[in-house]
Chains A and B, each alone.
Chain A
Amino acid sequence: MAIVIFLTFVAFVLGLSFYFGAKTKSASGYYAAGGNIHWGVNGIAFAGDYLSAASFLGICGMIATSGYDGFLYSIGYLAGWMVALFVVAEPMKRMGKYTFTDAVDAKFNSKSIKLMAAISTLIVSVCYLIPQMVGAGVLVQPLLGLPHEIGVIIVGTVVIIIVATAGMTSTTYVQFLKGGLLIVFSLIVTVALLVRGLSTRPDQGGKVPFHVYAELVTTTVDGKIIPADTAFTVSETKVVKDHTFVKLTKEGKASWWMNAERDGKPVLQECQWESQIPGQPKVVNGEAGGKLRNVGSLRAINGDASAEAKTGALGPFSFLSKIGAKDTKVDLWKFSKFKDASGAEVSVHYSYTTTGNKILRPGAKFKIEGTWLERLDFISLMLALFLGTAALPHILIRYYTVSSPAAARKSTIVAIAAIGFFYILTLYMGLGAMVNSVINPTENNMSAPLLAQTFGTFLFAVISAIAFATVLGTVAGLIVASSGAVAHDLMDRFMNIKMDEKQKVKAGRIAALIVGVIAIMLGIIFKGQNVSFLVGLAFAVAASANLPAIIMLLFWKRTTSQGIAASIGVGVVSSLTLIGLSPSIFKQFGLDPASAPVPFDNPGIVSIPLSFIVLVVVSLLTEKKEHLEH
C-alpha cells in the first residue's frame, strides 16, 4: 500500500507539471509564474519551499537524537522570516523582475553585479540542493527498498522533468499542495502521539515488541572483567576513548557488550553491533545481512522505572513537562568504531541514560558550556539561521510570483503562520521519535516518517510521499532559481546573448538539466550527513554572500556597484573556504577533524561581517569614480 500511495502522489505531481507546462510559453511564466499567483497560495507555497527535507527530516531527526538542540534550528529558521518580512519582502518585489540579480542590479545595471549575483545564486542553490538530495536518498531506502544512490537519481530525474516542463507555475502549485499536506499530516501524527502518551516499554501500538537490553552483573579480577553469569565467556576486550567494550561468547555465539555502571554496581550492558571483514557480508547483531533494531526509549517517567510505567493520553504541555522532568530518564544511543582481533571493522552501538531536564534544554549537541571557540560556533550558527532566510535565492524569487509589494508582504505573513505552527510540531514529532524506539541508530533523518509508521502503514505512506514531495518541491524551486541565474542573469543580461521568449525558456530548461545532474552527484557524495546541519551551512553561505548586498543597497545611499559585487564575491569565497576547512567537512571526507585548520563548523560569524566590511570599504573607495561615471 505504501508504494501505491507514494507512486500515486508522484504521478499526480508530474501530471500537474505537464498541465502547467503546456501553458508556459513566456519567460515571465517560466521564471515568475506570470506574477499572478494569489498571496494566500504563495504564502503556503513559501512554506512548502521552506519546509524542506531539512525541516521535516533533519530537525525531527536532530531533536530525536539531541533533544532541544534540534529545536534551535526551528527557532532560528523561523526568526529568519522576520528579516524577510520587515526588511526584504516589499523592496525585493519593487526592484526585481525574475531573479535576485535583477533586484540588486536594479539601481546600477552593472555587469560585475550581474556576474557575481548569478554565481552566488548558483552556489547557494547547489549548497542547499545537497541536503535535499541526501534526504531523497534516505527516504527511498525504507519506502521502496532501494539504495540511497537510486533514491537520489529518482528525485533528480523527476525534478528535472518538473522544472524543465513548467518552471515556476508548477513548482508553486506543487509547493502549495505539499506545504498544506505536510502541516495537516504532521498535526495528525502529533495528535496521535499525544493520545498514545508515554511508556517505558514502547511497542509501537502493539506492532513491534519492545526489546529489553540485557545487563550482566560483573566482577573485576586482576583488571579483567568477568560476568557473574558463567554461561558467558570473555573472548576480547577493546578500550575506545572512555569506553570499554567486551566481546562475549555464549553457546558459540558472539556478541558485544559495554562496561558500565547501574545504580553504582558494575555491569556489562548489551549493545547492538555491526562487523565486517573486507570482501565478506556484513554481520549485524550476529546475523549475516541482518538489520539493527531501531532505538530510543524512556527508562523512567517521573521517577517510575517499572515495566508498566505509562501515562495514557497527554495534553501538549503535560507531554513536554513529563519528558523534561528531572526524574524522567531517557535512553539514547551512540556508537564507536574499531578493528577487532580478527581484523574486522566493528561498529558498536551502545545506549546511555540522560535525564529529561537535560533533553529539554540546549547543550546536548552544541557545546554551549565548552571552550570560547565552541560557543562562538553556536553564535555563528544562530546568526546564519537568522540572516540566511532572507538571502535564499529560491525564497527571494517567490516574491516575483505575486502581483504587488503588498501581496508579497501578505504572503510572507501567511508563510510565517504556517511555518511557525509546523516548527512547534517538530518538537513533538522529534521527542515522540526519541521515546518510541523508532530511531535508526546509523541515520536519524528518517525519525519522523518512522514515527508515523508506528501509527499505521497508511500514515507512513502518506507522510513519506509528502516528505518526498517536500524534497521534489524544494529541489524544483532551487533549480528554477539556478536556471534563472544561468539563462536570464548570465546568458541574457551579462553576456547579452539575444534570445526571444521561447529561446529564453529553452535556455532555462537546459540549465535546469545541468544543475539537476550536478545535484544528483553531490547528493550521492554527501550520503549520511544530517540534512539540517547541511542546510545550516547553506544558510551561512547565503547570509554571507547575498544579505549584506540587499541590506546596504536598501539602507546606505553611498553603496556602489563595485561594493556590492566585491561583497558578494568575498561572502561566497570566505564562507565556502571556512566550511571547506572545517572539522565536519574533514570528517565527511575521512580526515581527522582535529587537524582541520578552521576550528569551527559554522562560518557566519566571520564571513557575514567580512562581507559587510568589504562592501563599505570598496564603496567608499569607488564612490567618487562611480558618481563621475554617472
Chain B
Amino acid sequence: MFHEPAQKSGKDPATPYKTRIGMWMFLVYALIYAGFVAINLISPVLMEAEIFWGLNLAVVYGFFLIAFALVLALAYNHLCGKREAEFAANPTEEVK
C-alpha cells in the first residue's frame, strides 16, 4: 500500500497566491456553469441545436463542463506547485 509519513503542515507562504488564483478559477468555472443553467432556462430548445458530429449543444456543453473542470484543475495544480517550488528554493522570497 502507498503510505506517506504523517507530517504537520507548517506556514505556507504560497497560500495568498493559491487563494487568489483559486478564486479566479472558481469564478471562471461558476460563470460557465451559470451559462449552462441559463440556456436551459431561457432557451431550452437551443440545447437541441447540432454542434458537430451529430452531437447537440446539451451533450457538447455537458461534456465540456466535465472536461474543462479537469483542465482547470490541472492548470491550478501546475501554478500552485510552481509557486510552492519557488518558495521551497528561495524561502526568503516575499509573498507576491
Q: Which of chain A's residues has its CB closest to B24's CB?
A: A86
Docked pose: A526 CA to B3 CA in angstroms: 40
Q: Which of chain B's residues has its CB closest to A324's CB?
A: B56
Partner of B58, one of A40, A360, A386: A360
Quick check: is A420 within 8 A (CB to CB) of the other chain?
yes
Partner of B74, one of A324, A325, A378, A413: A413
Docked pose: A601 CA to B48 CA in angstroms: 27
Q: Hey, which chain B residues are within 8 Å of A39, CB to CB?
A: 4
Q: Does the CB pair A75–B1 fall under 8 Å?
A: no
Q: Does the CB pair A79–B65 fall under 8 Å?
A: yes
Quick check: is A85 within 8 A (CB to CB) of the other chain?
yes
Docked pose: A406 CA to B14 CA in angstroms: 11
Q: Does the CB pair B6–A403 fall under 8 Å?
A: yes
Contact A36 B77, CB 8 Å, known A82-B26, A90-B18, A378-B40: no
Q: Does the CB pair B7–A403 fall under 8 Å?
A: yes
Q: Which of chain B's residues has its CB closest to A386's CB?
A: B33
Interface residues of A in 232-262 (CB under 8 A from B): none
A559–chain B nearest beta-carbon distance, Å: 16
Q: Chain B, interface size: which category? A: 35 or more
Quick check: is B54 within 8 A (CB to CB) of the other chain?
yes
Q: Hey, which chain A residues are within 8 Å of B62, CB to CB?
A: 68, 71, 74-75, 427
Q: Which of chain A's residues has its CB closest to B39's CB?
A: A362
Q: Does the CB pair A83–B69 fall under 8 Å?
A: no
| Residues of A in contact, count (CB < 8 Å) | 61
Q: Does the CB pair A85–B47 fall under 8 Å?
A: no
Interface residues of B in 36-63 (CB under 8 A from A): 36-37, 40-41, 44-45, 47-48, 53-56, 58-59, 62-63
Docked pose: A103 CA to B19 CA in angstroms: 17
Contact A409 B54, CB 8 Å, known A41-B2, A324-B59, A417-B70: no
Where chain A touches its partner, the secondary structure class is helix
Q: Hey, which chain B residues are within 8 Å of A34, CB to CB?
A: 6
B35–chain A nearest beta-carbon distance, Å: 12
Q: Does the CB pair A403–B70 fall under 8 Å?
A: no
Q: Does the CB pair B40–A368 fall under 8 Å?
A: yes
Q: Does the CB pair B80–A406 fall under 8 Å?
A: yes
Q: Hey, which chain B residues are within 8 Å of A324, CB to CB?
A: 54-56, 59
Q: Hey, which chain A residues are within 8 Å of B47, CB to CB?
A: 68, 361-362
- Residue interface mask A308-345, B partner, CB < 8 A = 1: 00000000011011101100000000000000000000
Docked pose: A363 CA to B46 CA in angstroms: 12
- Residue interface mask A540-568, B partner, CB < 8 A = 1: 00000000000000100000000000000
Q: Hey, which chain B residues are within 8 Å of A404, CB to CB?
A: 7, 9
Q: Does the CB pair A420–B4 fall under 8 Å?
A: no
Quick check: is A37 within 8 A (CB to CB) of the other chain?
yes
A555–chain B nearest beta-carbon distance, Å: 8
Q: Does the CB pair A378–B56 fall under 8 Å?
A: no
Interface residues of A in 75-89 (CB under 8 A from B): 75, 78-79, 81-83, 85-87
Q: Hey, which chain B residues are within 8 Å of A402, CB to CB?
A: 4
Partner of A79, one of B4, B33, B58: B33
Q: Does the CB pair A423–B84 fall under 8 Å?
A: no
Q: Hey, which chain A residues are within 8 Å of B26, CB to CB?
A: 82-83, 86-87
Q: Does the CB pair A409–B65 fall under 8 Å?
A: no
B24–chain A nearest beta-carbon distance, Å: 9
Q: Hey, which chain B residues are within 8 Å of A322, CB to CB?
A: 54
Partner of B69, one of A38, A362, A407, A416: A416
Quick check: is A412 within 8 A (CB to CB) of the other chain?
yes
Contact A361 B56, CB 8 Å, known A86-B25, A403-B7: yes
Q: Hey, which chain B residues are within 8 Å of A423, CB to CB?
A: 66
Docked pose: A459 CA to B77 CA in angstroms: 37
Contact A424 B66, CB 8 Å, known A85-B73, A362-B44, A407-B4: yes
Contact A85 B76, CB 8 Å, known A41-B1, A173-B1, A375-B41: yes
Q: Does the CB pair A38–B3 fall under 8 Å?
A: yes
Q: Does the CB pair A420–B59 fall under 8 Å?
A: no
Quick check: is A382 within 8 A (CB to CB) of the other chain?
yes
Q: Which of chain A's residues has its CB closest to B58's CB?
A: A361
Quick check: is B22 within 8 A (CB to CB) of the other chain?
yes
Q: Does the CB pair A37–B3 fall under 8 Å?
A: yes
Q: Hey, which chain B residues are within 8 Å of A71, CB to CB?
A: 62
Please list 27 pairs of residues, one from A and one from B, whose beta carbons are closer than 8 Å in the complex, sorted by A's number.
Answer: A38-B1, A68-B47, A72-B40, A74-B62, A78-B65, A78-B69, A82-B25, A85-B22, A86-B23, A90-B12, A317-B55, A320-B55, A324-B56, A357-B56, A360-B59, A361-B48, A362-B40, A362-B44, A363-B44, A368-B44, A403-B4, A405-B12, A406-B84, A413-B77, A416-B69, A416-B73, A554-B19
A41-B1, A360-B58 known, 8 other contacts, Cβ within 8 Å:
A93-B9, A94-B15, A320-B54, A360-B56, A368-B44, A386-B33, A412-B73, A424-B63
